[in-house]
Amino acid sequence: MAQAQILRDAPADALAIDEVRAFPVSVPLPEHARVMLGVGTTVKRDAVIVRVRTKGGLTGWGEAHHGRAPRAIAAIVNDTLAEVLEGQDACDAVALNARMARAAQLTQGSGAAAALAISGIDIALWDLRAKAVNWPLCRLLGGAPKPVMAYAGGVALCWEEPAALVEEARGLVAEGYRAVKQRVGQDVARDAGRLRALREALGPDITILADANSLYRMDDVRRIMPVLGECAVGWLEEPFMPQESRLYRDAAALATVPLAAGENLFTRQEFRRLIEDGAVCEIQPDLSKAGGLTECLRIAGLALANGLVVHPHASMTALNAAATLHLLSAVENGGFLEADVSRYNSLRDDLVSGAPVIGADGTFRATEAPGLGVEVSEEFIREHPPITGSAYRRA
């Protein structure tokens, strides 16, 4: 049915919001799927899944980043934001985003937790709006399904021995990936050995990126920069916490590769400061953290005005990945899609059906299915209640 027909035949209040609900979920990781990161060894995956329903029966789905406190983020959605959205027009994207920000500011404040909760609802509202006109989300955003280059990211290529990393990376290249991201930050000597092993094994035609997860000091950056240049690494991601603007400026002055950051920033105001500082060249908002699609469209516009590319950070589930693919299919300055290539992730593989898969040319392409283009399993959500405790076990 054409979108005009859908809207013309619908009752006047069909797009009024009837229910907003967040579901904290957890998936334990089997021993073979656990990997060591800077924050510890992974033992489970958490997520917050958000559902919005209208009086006309439409349903939209989104993901709020769990913030390592999934019950708390879900509670902000259910106990604060849901009430202020009931009865509102689900199509009024800008006004609803502002309404949520105002409600959160008066209760939880305007910090990270509020941004995470707003993000999940906002993504669900965009999914719902696109379904209302029977369009894929990227078309509603002004784009169209098109090939989007991806890099192999997620919880992969971590702190294993070089031989194991080379085997893992070669497998990813065989799947179609033309870019991979290596975790660094353990110590410079080991980081350098891993990067050199990857470059030697993969050759010059595969892009290698490096992510330090904010574990470097300035002395580490001074020592690793020549290695990054030698290995033709595409960027160094988050050597420091993103708020440490002085360190980023100092690092940029001696950089042999671009600096990347943004996954741990929230709202356009924080990204404005990051961009104005001028040290970071690769901008990485996370749709499930920074304020949803509404806010990330603004962030992409800020980046575009400054000649910068956005490479969104992906979150824990296939919902964030789908929303990110649609965003990158619609903005002028879209860069890499971060594809989660973790060995085991039920939040990627079992939570939804219909997710796009990588093509032989290393790209993903959104489908023409309405909304995000994926179907969510509510049974999976019911079967995976939140698990108490940290998702990481320290050695």
pLDDT digits (tens, 9 = 90+) for 96-116: 999 999 988 765 555 889 999
Tokens representing 288 are 């499930």
Domain 139-378 class in CATH: alpha beta
Please state, in angstroms and rounded to a whole number, the distance separating the CA atoms of residues 378 and 353. Answer: 12
> Domain map of the chain by residue range?
3-134+388-393, 139-378
- Using the structure block, give the residue that is written with the tokens 């997620």: 154
Q: What are phi and psi of 130, to 5 degrees?
A: -65, -35
Q: 234: closest CA among 204, 267, 262, 272? A: 204
352/127 Cα distance (integer angstroms) = 14
pLDDT for residue 110: 56
Reported as a single tens digit per residue, the pLDDT across 58-90 is: 999 999 999 999 999 999 999 999 999 999 999
DSSP state of 234: S
Backbone angles phi, psi at 209, to 5 degrees: -115, 160
* 91 CB neighbour count, 10 Å cutoff: 16
Q: What is the pLDDT of residue 33?
A: 73
The Cα-based distances of 127 to 43, 130, 175 in angstroms read 31, 5, 29
Helix (H) or strand (E) holding 162: helix 162-175
The encoded tokens of residue 350 equal 């079992």
Residue 85: name the closest of 22, 16, 131, 23 by CA.
16
The pLDDT score that the predictor gives to residue 315 is: 67
Give residue 199's pLDDT.
98
Topology of domain 3-134+388-393, CATH: Enolase-like; domain 1 (3.30.390)
pLDDT of residue 4: 45
Give the pLDDT of residue 157.
81
pLDDT for residue 394:
76
Overall size of the chain counted in residues: 395
What pLDDT, on the 0 to 100 scale, is given for residue 317? 93
What tokens does 234 get?
């595409």
What letter does residue 312 receive in the DSSP assignment? P
Q: Which parts of the chain register pLDDT below 70?
A: 1-12, 36, 38, 106-110, 315, 395
